[in-house]
């Protein structure tokens, strides 16, 4: 039996490029996908910048929450548009990586809020009345 009768241990670029792949459905980006990702990334960067610089909301907590939401959405946009993550490619493993990333991002955002809250509560300057009572 000739060595070419068996499936190759690896796929050469010619077969993958011309659709003769052996089941490795990796997503490939198109110019349209990259342009959509770029436009979304620019918008998702400009809006939080405007929220902070324009002092749109008087309540700083609302601004912080909105910035965190925009950050999480931007991470997903980057993963889908630039890393080409979807449920079909690589047998579903890329979508598992996306879910794992979303969980890690949620933990990081919650931890960031917790740290910021406690820094604000415990480290901010005291009122003049409180300073008078200091030893």
Backbone angles phi, psi at 90, to 5 degrees: 55, 35
Look up residue 127 and give its DSSP letter: P
**Tell me, what's the pLDDT at 127?**
74
**Tell me, what's the pLDDT at 12?**
53
Burial (CB < 10 A; 0-12, 13-18, 19+), residue 8, is exposed
Alpha carbons 84 and 29: distance in angstroms, whole number:
6
Place of tokens 């700083």: 60
Q: To 10 degrees, the CA torsion angle through 81, 70, 116, 111?
A: -50
Look up residue 110 and give its DSSP letter: H
Buried b (16+ CB within 10 A) or exposed e, 55-71: eeeeeeeebbebebebb
Tens-digit pLDDT string for the chain (135 aa)? 555 555 444 555 555 555 555 555 555 778 999 999 999 999 999 999 999 999 999 999 999 999 989 998 998 899 889 888 877 777 778 888 878 888 998 899 899 889 988 888 887 667 777 777 777
């Amino acid at each position: 039996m000739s060595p070419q009768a068996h499936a190759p241990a690896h796929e050469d670029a010619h077969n993958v490029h011309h659709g003769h792949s052996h089941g490795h459905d990796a997503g490939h980006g198109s110019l349209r996908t990259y342009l959509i990702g770029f436009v979304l990334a620019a918008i998702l960067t400009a809006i939080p910048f405007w929220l902070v610089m324009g002092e749109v909301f008087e309540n700083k907590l609302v601004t912080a929450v909105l910035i965190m939401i925009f950050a999480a959405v931007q991470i997903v946009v980057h993963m889908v548009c630039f890393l080409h993550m979807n449920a079909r490619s690589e047998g579903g493993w890329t979508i598992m990586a996306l879910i794992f990333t979303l969980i890690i991002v949620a933990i990081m955002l919650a931890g960031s809020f917790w740290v910021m809250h406690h820094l604000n509560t415990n480290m901010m300057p005291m009122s003049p009345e409180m300073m008078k009572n200091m030893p």
